[in-house]
Structure 1
Amino acid sequence: MTKRIGVMTSGGDSPGMNGSVRAVVRTTLNSGCEAFAILEGYDGLVNNMIKKMEWADVRGFQSEGGTLIGTARCAEFRERNGRLRGAKNLITHGINGLVICGGDGSLTGADTFRKEWPGLLSELVAAKEITQEQQDEFSFLNIVGLVGSIDNDFADTDATIGCYSSLGKICESLDTIDSTASSHQRAFVIEVMGRHCGWLGLMAGHRKLGKRKTVVIVAEGAHDEDLKHISPTMVKDVLAGAPLKLDTRITTLGHLQRGGSPCAYDRQLSTLQGVEAVKAVLAAKPGDPSYFISIIENKIVKKPLLEAVASTLKLAEAIKAKDFEKAIELRGPEFAEYYEAYKITTATDQPGLKLPENKRMNIAIINVGAPAGGMNSATRSAVAYCLARGHTPWAIHNGFPGLVRHHRDKPEGSVRKLDWLEVDCWISKGGSEIGTNRDMPSNVGLFATADCFREWKFDALFIVGGFEAYTALSEMRAARKEFPPFRIPMVLLPATISNNVPGTEYSVGSDTCLNALVSYCDAVKQSASASRRRVFVVETQGGKSGYIATMAGLAIGALAVYTPEEGIDLQTLARDIQHLRESFATDRGQTRAGKLILNSEHASATYTTQLIANIIKEESKGRFESRHAIPGHFQQGVTPSPMDRVRAVRLAVKCMQRLEAYVGRTGEEIMADENAYAVIGIKGASVVFGSMAELEQETNWKDRRPVSEAWLANKKIVDDLSGRPQVP
């Protein structure tokens, strides 16, 4: 029997839902099955609003906010009779698999529906609504859930579809409000969504606490330890009253947080989870539980839905019982770490955190390589942690060249202490406030670099940067036997738009780059759509790694992606041109018909972006047009994305704790410990510290990237969802 799979969005809409619908529909069709959309959520299920979906029906869905197949509240589905009608409608359409994207209430209802399914079918047979043959044929219904919610309030997943888009809207609003707050020395109380989950408030709260302004973020479901509701007005009264007497304003962001085009991360997440959901439906057997698709750190995971629902309910019960430690534990390790990082890095005057004098360190902080969004967030968090613990943070300005050029007699040299007032406002700034440089110790002299380390008595080094920073760490580790000043713990936090540092699947700055590139591509695609018969070839940055091109292609629905890992040849170009001819021939004037090809800057030395566009134009024989576009350094972005900010904070704190663990160790002990020279990274479902001694063996030094790249599997997903034929 051909499997027919339905997709439905339910509950409150969230940015990214449309990406999941597109992924489910096209993966279903690619699998040789038939796809259906249940319009208007459970209301459409009960009232038979079910539409068969074809490939072109979901073209361009990723860039659209809300849900294009609709969602509606449905009191009827809460009653058994409503679920009975829903079951009949599915059987009438021959649907035996269902993917539902919604919040906890929607997914709880889905699991109830699945458990009742055998009984519902028996009732329908008894009432002669369906035949015995139909009951036998559809004896079990497999349901897979995708969590779509801006609140990020579901257990057993680090992120829900839409939460980072919503966080982006909050941060954008706070950036705007912050300038007014500083200008007038005002206090602002900002109410954000989140119901009974404080994720949005916590993530946004990594941002503002300064001297000229006070910004307090209140989740709409906030309460005190006695479970009494805390309203924005109550907070305003405290700030405006004695003794503070601050000029205070209230701003409620409301549904502004829910709308608009989804960010790059939500487009990627919804697409990858939609693909995995269809795989789960197709692999299901009678008796299997319902599953939902989650993400833990950087890994897409299939988990039992009922267990996650139970954990979500336990969280609410823990809050009701005033067991707040248990509630934080149930939110998962990532949330707990963010919460602890927030507490440490928002105020430096915390006597309880201070270490004894003999355990305090001189910690040097340096940025190496090209600028990347989130570098300043990492630096600020490292400084805040140092000050809270009693360490002395030394900023090395302008990389290793700045270090060796420094002279003590200059009052404002390239090496100086950082204080809280200086760094507090850095979290929302792009680039690098302490300056960054591509030169490595070998370029400026290992002896000179080591001599500066000795002169300044550095006890530890915190490096933020890309592949140049990785190479610098490798050089100093190799030179530690010859140069004793390098016998100190060193840790690298990868920060580069290219995401090409070994030891991690995610580099700070790559998300900011993807957001900038996706915005650029949306504009280009709109132009291509308006012209109907036009394709754009867009050049992406990324060095000799195709990560940026591939993940952007996943987010925008690129027709093809060219990467350095695969290269380009005439056969590939010929195949893609033929695919373009066929695609334009079947468009029939539909909307969202613009087509994009992404070309990574080093995919080929011969086939440049402009040449590819010219070849396509020549071979089109006037049937369609071709243009090229090069966004260049626009891709570095201006303001760091929320994900780059919050991950930079969390990872920087973990790096400081790692360096702190070496207090009291001698140079000889550190030299003998390969783990003293490490890279922090997100690998699969874990945050890990990789030893440089091991990582160097996993490095493709010639192409400046890891030997094994975890994202490569996504390249096939881009091709599959674009309908791109494969070269034999």
Structure 2
Amino acid sequence: MSSSGTVAVQATGLKSFKQDAGKSTQQEPIKVAVMTSGGDSAGMNAAVRSAVKMAIYKGAHAYVIREGWEGLVRGNEAGSEEGQRTPTGYAKGNDVFIPTYGEGDLLREGVGEADEIGLKGRYIVRVGWDDVRGWMSEGGTLIGTARCAEFRERSGRLKAAKNLISCGINALVCCGGDGSLSGLDRLRQEWSSLVKELHDTNKITSKQAEKHSSLRVSGIVGSIDGDFSGTDLSLGFPTALTRIVEAIDSISSTASSHQRAFVVEVMGRASGALASSAAISVGADYVFVPERPPSVNWRDEMCDILRRQRIVGKRRTIVILAEGAIDSDLNPIKAEDVRLCLEKQLQVDARSTILGHVQRGGKPVAEDRILATLQGVEAVNAVMEATPETPSYVIGIRDDTIVRLPLIEAVKQTHQVSEHIQNKQFDKALALRDPEFIEGLSTFDLISHVDSTIKLPEKQQARIAILTVGAPAGGMNAAIRTAARYCQARGHTPLAVHNGFDGLVDGQIAPLSWIQVDNWAVRSGSELGTNRHLPDRNIQGVADAITKHKIQGLLLIGGFEAFLSAKILHEQSEKIKALQVPTVHIPATLSSNIPLTESIGFSTSLNEVVNAADTLKRSASASRNRVFFLSCQGGKEGRLAVFSALAAGAVIVYTPETGITLQQLDADAAWLRKRYQLDTKGKTEGRLVMVADKASDAFNLDALKSIFNEEGKSLWSTRGSELGHLCQGSNVSPIDRCRAARLARKACEFIEENVGKQNTMPAIVTINGTRLDIVTLDKLIEASDFANRRPKELTWLEYKELTELMAGKKLI
């Protein structure tokens, strides 16, 4: 994960895809090969798809390398074809857009070495646009991956160089972990000497040696462990975390039924990122991570904490263990050790579960698909712009910005964490992790311990009211849970206000206990009840309730209504002194329409929409000539529709920001006709169009469906589906759960710091990537488009263009 010590180079960003398809300035197009290596991770297929399409868009020839470094060392057998056949039935595209070279179906089915299939002995395969279609939602890596001992030797790298040169490839994009990316950099560093040796031994010609004097490379971090330095997120981590959370959510119900304890071991090698994030997400009771090991007396320390939890009424115990867990003397801690300890010291029925490779499996979640797409685009940009003087780059993400990181420095810093752990320099190891990880561990300790030693003096303790405002959003309950437990740990009194400001006026207020909120982290909606009523319905009643119940701070959780509520309270506070209590807003809305921040609830809704889109795409493809129109919520903010379209592989997306015109519909229908005419006969792909429900007053879902149905004639038919309130989701995503915990703690700290102060301006806790900030109300107002209930600046709109690029709209 990220670290402040790593040098980052700002990427050219997504602006590069807005240019015309980049014809190479060389006499011959650049040939870009894409490969996956090391352990598989969800999102690798999406990264390959993105890189292949971006390479073609830029005017390059695109190849895939099967079976990682092993495949590159093996290369193509003498006499085997390069994979440039165009089967009968494919219409010819233009000079850039060639739908297929024939191997797409074989690659997608994961075909191995069967002679009759046609891929035996062929590891470097040219691909066209449609050869990677449908890859977005597939788990693992369809082109295979393998760790290769031969590549670690110079003789193996010599073979790899020979195979690249034989195919004319001069650019290589590799998706993998630190080991795979180290191999990529070493290949590039040795490239000149490898080419010289191949030439001196007459294995390549002088012309080939001159043409391939340098190798362009870039890397994409594909690792579920979340341990790579310099990037806030690595490909596969969100999906692995989701698999873990799904499993532990299921375990928790049976554990509670029998009052059992469960010990769950998760992956991560020397990183505790998966373990700590999972612990916060599921409301676990204890966690072991290698960066912050317990003392050798960990058994007594752990059982003391868990015993206190049982005393206050907990029916189950969940302990999460990173696979690299150790004590402070570097002694390994295993799941079975913990289980035996629980049975002996706590006298409870305990079970242990090692999740293993189930964490790598399944289709990627939306976040991995989007991250893979963005990184694949930038990886190709990096190799297209590379010179012999530029360093090898790995593509990462920091604070929601795609960046290029010097590969060798990032790998070096990644390895330093393990070195510090082995040297028992745990503080140094922890310092190299990103702030979110460190903050997460601290927050987990705070909300999992029943008795706290950090209580404030009685005079500084406050009564803090917590209420949800507006529509329900995933993560609201997780935020309430953390806020309540933070308050209890610090000596404050957390007050649950049921049914928003109406409930506050009516006195529907009660203290929250530690055990009462124990299971709330996993629940969707709002356990407190919520509505869209604002405080100005009865502002004097709100003020009277604040006075009557001695409320000294207000924590509002919600979307634009919560923002407006804070604004109203502040405006009225000059006239009504009782309203002058510190007020803070946690953004929680599926539309993510609060300025200057992301919102909890968006990730849950995004994955809900993408799952529905996957189902509809399967149905559309089964029907061959079907176009599905899928409508999702979001109000006047089209962010949910655009991100869902990008993650699901939609071909068109309509949003309120850009609107819908007859001219646009005519152009889209014309493009869709061209696109269908390029499909293989009998293998026409069904397609998806995403529609924000407020995209147009004139063209609703039924109108769009009817227009395109008429335009499709014999090429396609249309169907439509409106998700409505299903967008809110039933399973809160781990990202929303973790964000909710971080935001809630930050919000409570703001109230705590401002209790008793006069005229404190309300604030919002903003989150951008891994960074949390406190932003005052005036800045939020300045950044708001109140007429449309959205930010003035819409930085995400470029993803709409990227969605259409990935559909081929800029080439056909």
Give the TM-score of the pair, scaled to structure 1: 0.95
The 8 Å contact of residues 261 and 316 in structure 2, kept in 1 or not, is answered as yes
User: Structure 1: how far apart are the matches of 2:209 and 2:450?
Assistant: 66
In structure 2, the partner of 1:423 is 517
In structure 1, the partner of 2:543 is 450
Q: Does 1:698 align with 2:788?
A: no
Q: Does 1:245 align with 2:342?
A: no
In structure 1, the partner of 2:357 is 255
4+ residue segments displaced more than 6 Å: none
In structure 1, the partner of 2:33 is 6
Deviation at 1:135, TM superposition (A): 2.6
Deviation at 1:146, TM superposition (A): 0.8
In structure 2, the partner of 1:395 is 496
Counterpart amino acid of residue 581 in structure 2: I
Per-residue CA deviation, residues 480-538 of structure 1 (Å, 9 max, x unaligned), is 2112122222111100000001120x110000001111111111000001011111010
In structure 2, the partner of 1:638 is 730
User: Structure 1: how far apart are the matches of 2:682 and 2:772?
Assistant: 45
User: Structure 2: how far apart are the matches of 1:180 and 1:383?
Assistant: 26
User: Structure 2: how far apart are the matches of 1:261 and 1:427?
Assistant: 24
The 8 Å contact of residues 59 and 592 in structure 1, kept in 2 or not, is answered as no
1:212 pairs with 285, 294, 315, which one?
315
User: Structure 2: how far apart are the matches of 1:590 and 1:201?
Assistant: 47
User: Structure 1: how far apart are the matches of 2:165 and 2:604?
Assistant: 45
CA separation of 1:349 and 1:566: change in aligned 2, threshold 3 A: same
In structure 1, the partner of 2:528 is 434
Deviation at 1:626, TM superposition (A): 0.7
SS at match of 1:124: helix
Q: Does 1:367 align with 2:468?
A: yes
How many residue pairs match? The answer is: 709
In structure 2, the partner of 1:321 is 423
Counterpart amino acid of residue 494 in structure 1: P
Q: Does 1:465 align with 2:564?
A: no
Deviation at 1:654, TM superposition (A): 1.5
Deviation at 1:142, TM superposition (A): 2.1
User: Structure 2: how far apart are the matches of 1:61 and 1:532?
Assistant: 17
The 8 Å contact of residues 232 and 770 in structure 2, kept in 1 or not, is answered as no
The 8 Å contact of residues 60 and 593 in structure 1, kept in 2 or not, is answered as no
The 8 Å contact of residues 575 and 725 in structure 1, kept in 2 or not, is answered as no
The 8 Å contact of residues 10 and 100 in structure 1, kept in 2 or not, is answered as yes
**Residue correspondence of structure 1 range 128-139 to structure 2 within 5 A:** 128-139=202-213
In structure 2, the partner of 1:287 is 389
Q: Does 1:487 align with 2:561?
A: no
**Residue correspondence of structure 1 range 532-611 to structure 2 within 5 A:** 532-589=624-681, 593-611=685-703
In structure 2, the partner of 1:518 is 610
The 8 Å contact of residues 255 and 261 in structure 2, kept in 1 or not, is answered as yes
In structure 1, the partner of 2:450 is 348
In structure 2, the partner of 1:475 is 568
Deviation at 1:273, TM superposition (A): 1.1
2:716 pairs with 624, 627, 634, which one?
624
Per-residue CA deviation, residues 153-173 of structure 1 (Å, 9 max, x unaligned), is 211112111111111111111
User: Structure 1: how far apart are the matches of 2:221 and 2:206?
Assistant: 35
SS at match of 1:355: coil
Aligned alpha-carbon RMSD (Å): 1.5
5+ long unaligned stretches in structure 1: 407-413
Compare 513-522 and 192-201 and name the one that shifted more.
192-201
Deviation at 1:591, TM superposition (A): 6.0
User: Structure 1: how far apart are the matches of 2:757 and 2:634?
Assistant: 40
Per-residue CA deviation, residues 302-344 of structure 1 (Å, 9 max, x unaligned), is 1111111111111111111111121111011111111111111
User: Structure 2: how far apart are the matches of 1:298 and 1:607?
Assistant: 33
Counterpart amino acid of residue 438 in structure 2: A
1:276 pairs with 373, 378, 386, which one?
378
Per-residue CA deviation, residues 264-299 of structure 1 (Å, 9 max, x unaligned), is 111111111111111111222221111111122322
The 8 Å contact of residues 299 and 685 in structure 1, kept in 2 or not, is answered as no
SS at match of 1:479: helix
Counterpart amino acid of residue 440 in structure 1: L
Give the TM-score of the pair, scaled to structure 2: 0.86
User: Structure 1: how far apart are the matches of 2:479 and 2:368?
Assistant: 23
In structure 2, the partner of 1:410 is none
Per-residue CA deviation, residues 139-162 of structure 1 (Å, 9 max, x unaligned), is 221221111111112111121111
CA separation of 1:615 and 1:303: change in aligned 2, threshold 3 A: same
Compare 140-149 and 637-646 and name the one that shifted more.
140-149
The 8 Å contact of residues 763 and 776 in structure 2, kept in 1 or not, is answered as yes
Per-residue CA deviation, residues 322-370 of structure 1 (Å, 9 max, x unaligned), is 111211110111111111111111123112x111111111111111110
In structure 2, the partner of 1:409 is none
User: Structure 1: how far apart are the matches of 2:735 and 2:347?
Assistant: 35
In structure 1, the partner of 2:159 is 85
User: Structure 2: how far apart are the matches of 1:175 and 1:620?
Assistant: 45
2:795 pairs with 702, 710, 723, which one?
710
SS at match of 2:697: coil
Deviation at 1:427, TM superposition (A): 0.2
Compare 477-486 and 166-175 and name the one that shifted more.
477-486
SS at match of 2:387: coil
The 8 Å contact of residues 297 and 687 in structure 1, kept in 2 or not, is answered as no
User: Structure 2: how far apart are the matches of 1:586 and 1:562?
Assistant: 24
**Residue correspondence of structure 1 range 69-108 to structure 2 within 5 A:** 69-108=143-182
User: Structure 2: how far apart are the matches of 1:656 and 1:590?
Assistant: 60
Deviation at 1:137, TM superposition (A): 2.4
In structure 2, the partner of 1:679 is 764
Per-residue CA deviation, residues 539-562 of structure 1 (Å, 9 max, x unaligned), is 011110010010001101101000
Compare 281-290 and 514-523 and name the one that shifted more.
281-290
The 8 Å contact of residues 59 and 593 in structure 1, kept in 2 or not, is answered as no
5+ long unaligned stretches in structure 2: 1-25, 76-122, 286-308
**Residue correspondence of structure 1 range 111-130 to structure 2 within 5 A:** 111-130=185-204
The 8 Å contact of residues 399 and 771 in structure 2, kept in 1 or not, is answered as yes
User: Structure 2: how far apart are the matches of 1:608 and 1:99?
Assistant: 42
Per-residue CA deviation, residues 650-704 of structure 1 (Å, 9 max, x unaligned), is 12111212222224x432xxx1x5xx42111123663222221122011100100
User: Structure 1: how far apart are the matches of 2:769 and 2:613?
Assistant: 28
User: Structure 1: how far apart are the matches of 2:614 and 2:415?
Assistant: 39
Counterpart amino acid of residue 509 in structure 2: V
User: Structure 1: how far apart are the matches of 2:733 and 2:360?
Assistant: 17
2:407 pairs with 293, 305, 309, which one?
305
The 8 Å contact of residues 297 and 682 in structure 1, kept in 2 or not, is answered as no
User: Structure 2: how far apart are the matches of 1:138 and 1:662?
Assistant: 64
